[in-house]
A and B are shown apart, each in its own frame.
Chain A
Amino acid sequence: MKKDPISLGLGEHAISRDPEDVLVAYGLGSCLGISMVDPLTRISGLLHAVLPGAVNGVPSSDPNSYKYVDSGIEDLLAALVKEGANKNRLIVSIVGGANMLISPGLKNSFDIGTRNMETARKTLQRLNMSIAAEEVGGHTGRTVHVYVADSRVTVRVIGEKERNI
């Protein structure tokens, strides 16, 4: 019987090496889905981060590190390496970071989506990791799937079909 996808809620992460597993973060708006897959060992991870993280350079004291882009990326990487993934082989993709609010009356919206993206890029750069694929920004929600079997990462937006990135 086909397994159900492993669905990640806000601030959650998942790691798997089971080829039958599919990791998924549904309906990402300003949130960011960050996937890291090691194609050789098939060890794959996905993070559903909500907020950029550290405020004014001070790391958050929130125990839920996966809620934040910066600490979430670091902890996801550490967890994958602990499982046996090779950091140098990890293929990183980022999805989401949209600005959902477009209204002339709400110009002062602090755009969390953009800040999430910027934080992801900075954090990955600091960790010497490059982004292989990204589908970010804009004004639409996205769903990201990670297929452990073949390390595929896909994106779907409202009214469209799922496609590889």
Chain B
Amino acid sequence: MNDNVVFDENLLEMLKTIASEGIKNAATGFSGMIGHKIEVSNPTIRLVPLLTISEIVGGPEDDAVGIYLRFEGDMVGQIMMIMPYLKTLELADLLMESPPGTTQHLGSIERSALGELGNLCGTFFLNSLAKSIDANLRPSPPAVMVDMVGAILDVVVATSGGISEHVLLMQANFMDGSRSVEVSFWVIPDMNALQNLINKNSKDDKA
């Protein structure tokens, strides 16, 4: 197990700032996609034990949609956005500019729209992150999964299980008037990425 990065309070505080900016930036991307302003509220970030993650976003058997992308460049990592299935139907209405309640199931067009949303939010988030740590980051195309929460999050657990015991969880509400969708972002930076942040953090402290 290589989990020797110590998550001190300073690092977490710094990550909170970066993530909060990243989520706001993602909301800007979202707004651009649908052509009017999407507000973001209550962004939270915390470090959670890897093996408990499927208990946090609803129950592990609940129906959900996951949008997954990887990033590479100066550092590698993964982002998983996960939302309750029923909420994604509302989101699809929003994206397709349909009246609420129109979308009854996710067909290929709706999945594609959600994938595009994930791509956009992910890219905007990454841009924020890249700017904060002065790195070059490139996202992969998104993969959209419709399945049980536990099964979707297995992707996160399996690909980071040998490396890290904790992952960063960010949650925020995206609101469009009275419509609100809580989105959970799981971000799994690799250890080198975290080390970069720590190094930069300590340099800033010394400066």
Taking Cβ atoms with an 8 Å cutoff, the residues of A that contact B are: 9-11, 26-31, 50-51, 55, 61-62, 67, 98, 100-106, 109-110, 112-113, 140-143, 156, 158-159
Contacts and interface: CB of A to CB of B under 8 A. Distances in A.
Nearest to B162: A51
A65 B54 CA distance: 20
Contacts of B63: 158-159
Contact of B151 (A55, A61, A98, A102): A98
B154 A31 contact: yes
Contact of B155 (A29, A104, A142): A29
A106 B142 CA distance: 8
A112 B156 CA distance: 11
A27 B150 contact: yes
A50 B157 contact: yes
A61 B51 CA distance: 17
A112 B70 CA distance: 16
Interface of B: 1, 50-52, 54-55, 59-61, 63, 68, 70, 140-155, 157-159, 161-162
B151 A29 contact: yes
Given A103-B141, A103-B142, A103-B143, A112 B158 contact: yes
A141 B147 contact: yes
B147 A140 contact: yes
Would you call the interface of chain A mostly helix, strand, loop, or mixed?
Answer: loop
Nearest to A101: B143
Would you call the interface of chain B mostly helix, strand, loop, or mixed?
Answer: mixed
Contact of A100 (B61, B70, B141, B152): B152
Given A9-B52, A10-B54, A158-B146, A28 B151 contact: yes
A140 B144 CA distance: 13
A141 B146 CA distance: 9
Contacts of A140: 147, 151
A138 to B, nearest CB: 11
A10 B140 contact: no
A144 to B, nearest CB: 11
A29 B147 contact: yes
A9 B50 CA distance: 11
A29 B140 contact: no
In the A-B complex, the 10 residue pairs with the closest CB atoms:
A27-B150, A141-B151, A105-B141, A29-B154, A29-B151, A103-B143, A27-B148, A112-B158, A27-B60, A26-B60
Interface centre among B63, B153, B154 (most CB of A within 10 A): B154
Given A26-B59, A30-B154, A106-B140, A10 B51 contact: yes
B155 A100 contact: yes
15 contacts: A9-B55, A10-B54, A26-B59, A27-B60, A29-B148, A31-B157, A31-B158, A51-B162, A61-B1, A62-B1, A100-B152, A100-B154, A106-B140, A141-B148, A158-B147
A50 B158 contact: yes
A133 B163 CA distance: 32
A29 B51 contact: no
A31 B50 CA distance: 14
B48 to A, nearest CB: 12
B207 to A, nearest CB: 39
Contacts of B159: 109-110, 112
A165 to B, nearest CB: 17
Interface centre among A112, A141, A142 (most CB of B within 10 A): A141
